[in-house]
Amino acid sequence: GAMGGSASLIPRDLLGEYQELTFLSKQEILLAYKRFSELLPKEERENACSVRVPKSQILTLPELRANPFQHRICHVFSTSETRDDSMSFEDFLDMLSVFSDSATSDIKSHYAFRIFDFDEDGTLDRKDLEQLVNCLTGQGEESRLSSAEMEQLIKNILEESDIDKDGTINLSEFQHVVSRSPDFASSFKIVL
């Protein structure tokens, strides 16, 4: 029937491969496929495994719409060669895999670091931290921090995290901080 047939659109060998390459269960992969293909125009749905969904469509997912790092998340998981942050089904699965409950906190923290590294230079410097704080506090006038508050906050973050005192946080410093905050992994989560 037309209703129950969508699962068969992922070839079985691919399904097995996706299970091996991600932290997702077969059920989660099929659900992800359903959600992904619903972002496509009807006539493209049968090729959901091979087409890219534009970033604007990905951002309509309620799970991302509410996420202050939605743009960075699309950017980090997109493999688009034109750098338009569009996603293939495999990009989408990678994202869900990292954000799933079953992903290790090492993997989560590695991707969180990439998402927070706004200028993509491999370290979190003051500018990255400022953007990070702005994302978290929201850009509204009433929620935005004064420059003195921002200065103090970044000073605190660096004091806590910057072990070699070079003024930036590298991946291992970041992972060290994360390992001490038990709620990090559970906050870094998207469940469809």
Regarding whether 116 and 75 lie in a shared domain, the answer is no
The candidate with the shortest Cα–Cα distance to 128, out of 85, 81, 162, is 162
Domain holding 162, by residue range, is: 105-188
d(CA 49, CA 166): 45
Vertex 41 angle, CA 36 and 43, to 5°? 110
pLDDT at 1: 40
pLDDT at 72: 97
pLDDT at 8: 54
In a domain, 1, yes or no: no
Percent of the chain with pLDDT over 70: 95
In the predicted model, what is the mean pLDDT of residues 67-86?
96
Mean pLDDT of the chain: 91
pLDDT at 185: 78
In the predicted model, what is the mean pLDDT of residues 70-92?
97
What are the tens digits of pLDDT across the range 7-51? Answer: 457 888 999 999 999 999 999 999 999 999 999 999 999 889 999
Q: What is the pTM of this model?
A: 0.89
Q: Which residues contact 61 (CB under 8 A, 6 or more apart)?
A: 35, 39
Regarding whether 60 and 114 lie in a shared domain, the answer is no
Regarding whether 162 and 119 lie in a shared domain, the answer is yes
What are the tens digits of pLDDT across the range 99-135? Answer: 999 999 899 999 999 999 999 999 999 999 999 999 9
**Residue 43 exposure: Cα atoms within 13 Å on the Cβ side:** 0
Residue 92, sorted as left (phi over 0), alpha (psi -120 to 50) or beta, turns out to be: alpha
Regarding whether 92 and 123 lie in a shared domain, the answer is no
The residues pairing with 53 across neighbouring beta strands, listed in sequence order, are 87
Domain boundary pick from 53, 84, 99? 99
Report the SS3 class of residue 53: strand
- State the total domains in the chain: 2
Write the CATH number for 112: 1.10.238.10
Q: Is it the case that residue 2 has pLDDT exceeding 50?
A: no
